[in-house]
Amino acid sequence: MTMTLEKLNELNAAAAKLNEEYQAKAREVNEALLQLSEQACPHKIGDVITINNAYTYTGKQLRITGFVSANNWRVSTVRNVALDKKWFCVGVVLKKDGTDSLIEGFEWGVVE
């Protein structure tokens, strides 16, 4: 089968269109998962919590600055739990004096 330049351009355009559609759906799914994570989290932006699920910063204080999709790989390793029961938040690790450090941290959990 001989591929003409016209046919190649046609296939390339079709692939680009499929990619755009895929990216749009992926953004929709990620936004929905982000909303689920934010709704499931027992904390809100601005709350200061103690980190329990991070090896390096366990026991440190974290000021929450945002949420990440409930489909994050750390949370997705929790099996047999609905996505609307998983949460993952990010923030700034606090220094001992309570001021912000330059270190970003995270905390995640499952609503029981």
Give 72-105 pLDDT, tens digit per residue.
666 667 777 777 777 888 999 999 999 999 888 8
Kindly state the tokens that stand for 74: 């750390």
Kindly state the tokens that stand for 88: 């993952």
Q: Which of the 8 DSSP states describes residue 44?
A: -
Q: What is the pLDDT of residues 32-55, one digit of tens each?
A: 888 888 888 899 999 999 988 767
Give bridge partners of residue 61 from the DSSP assignment.
50
Q: How far is CA 44 from CA 40, 87, 99, 110, 112, in A?
A: 10, 11, 19, 15, 18
More confident residue, 57 or 46: 46
The residue range of the domain holding 101 is 5-110
CA 47 to chain centre: 18
Q: Are 94 and 100 in contact (CB under 8 A)?
A: yes
Ranges of H-type helices in the chain: 5-40, 73-76
Q: How far apart are CA 65 and CA 68, in angstroms?
A: 10
More confident residue, 18 or 68: 18
The count of structural domains within the chain is 1
Put simply, whether the predicted model's pTM sits higher than 0.85 gets the answer no
Q: How far apart are the first and last CA of the chain?
A: 59
